């Protein structure tokens, strides 16, 4: 019921992920990013604890393959889980248990990994990786390009209703953390949110690290 992609930008050091599903609030349960260290995606019949543990292991310096091994050893029901891990070197590892739902696939690419279940076709994941590798610019844009390509290739077997985009940079928090939790066209809505957020992103980071240099905002409703 989910398809997703994780990516790494060598130029900026950013890590990020984008995800969509027929399930509500998918990004809240499935997408986990460790600033400067990598990404963990826990999906299918989801156990968010695996995402939390995977981030901890990445922060301890383990590579993707070792993280994946530890997660499948830790999990009591690995056959129900689908996992993708991308580490700080851009290396990846993936797991789809025997009980992964419907047509499912995972694929590693250059500095990325994608996976999904209940897919319209296995080619959905290949299209996502190829689109990410072919795109340039902001990591968030490349991740969204991958998702758009996956949707165009068939996406899930049924409609999707939620989506999320999360990117980390030099800050210890995600500098992009956007969600569409229930919408008839969540990926289109997510792109709209991203395009409105991007012009303000750096200003929000500056407020945190150098408030003395940040612009003064007197706009009604603005959250300082």
DSSP states of 4-53: EEEEE-TTT--EEEEEEESSTTHHHHHEEEETTTEEEEEEES--HHHHHH
Residue 82 lies in a domain: yes
Residue 58 lies in a domain: yes
* CA–CA distance, 22 with 20 (Å, rounded to integer): 7
pLDDT tens, residue order, the chain (224 aa): 899 999 999 999 999 999 999 999 999 999 999 999 999 999 999 999 999 999 999 999 999 999 999 999 999 999 999 999 999 999 999 999 999 999 999 999 999 999 999 999 989 999 999 999 999 999 999 999 999 999 999 999 999 999 999 999 999 999 999 999 999 999 999 999 999 999 999 999 999 999 988 876 655 555 55
Residue 122 lies in a domain: yes
Q: What is the CATH number of the domain that holds 203?
A: 3.60.20.10
The tokens describing 117, both together, are 């279940």
**What's the structural domain count of the chain?**
1
Residue 65 lies in a domain: yes
Residue 31 lies in a domain: yes
Residue 215 lies in a domain: no
Domain that holds residue 86: 2-209
38: alpha, beta or left, given left = phi > 0 and alpha = psi -120 to 50? left
């Amino acid at each position: 019921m989910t398809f997703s992609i994780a990516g790494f930008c060598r130029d900026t050091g950013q890590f990020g992920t984008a995800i969509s599903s027929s399930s509500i609030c998918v990004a809240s349960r499935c997408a986990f990013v460790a600033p400067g260290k990598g990404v963990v995606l826990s999906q299918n019949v989801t156990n968010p604890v695996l995402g939390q543990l995977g981030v901890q292991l990445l922060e301890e310096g383990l590579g993707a393959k070792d993280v994946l091994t530890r997660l499948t050893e830790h999990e009591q029901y690995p056959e129900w889980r689908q996992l993708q891990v991308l580490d700080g070197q851009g290396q990846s590892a993936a797991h789809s248990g025997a009980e992964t739902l419907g047509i499912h696939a995972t694929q590693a690419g250059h500095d990325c990994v994608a996976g999904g279940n209940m897919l319209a076709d296995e080619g959905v994941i290949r299209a996502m990786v190829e689109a990410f590798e072919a795109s340039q610019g902001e990591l968030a844009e490349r991740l969204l390009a991958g998702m758009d390509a996956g949707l165009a290739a068939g996406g899930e077997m049924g409609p999707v209703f939620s989506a999320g985009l999360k990117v980390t940079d030099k800050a210890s928090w995600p500098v992009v953390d956007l969600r569409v939790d229930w919408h008839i066209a969540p990926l289109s809505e997510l792109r709209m949110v991203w395009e409105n957020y991007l012009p303000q992103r750096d200003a929000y980071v500056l407020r945190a690290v150098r408030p003395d240099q940040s612009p003064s905002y007197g706009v009604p409703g603005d959250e300082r």
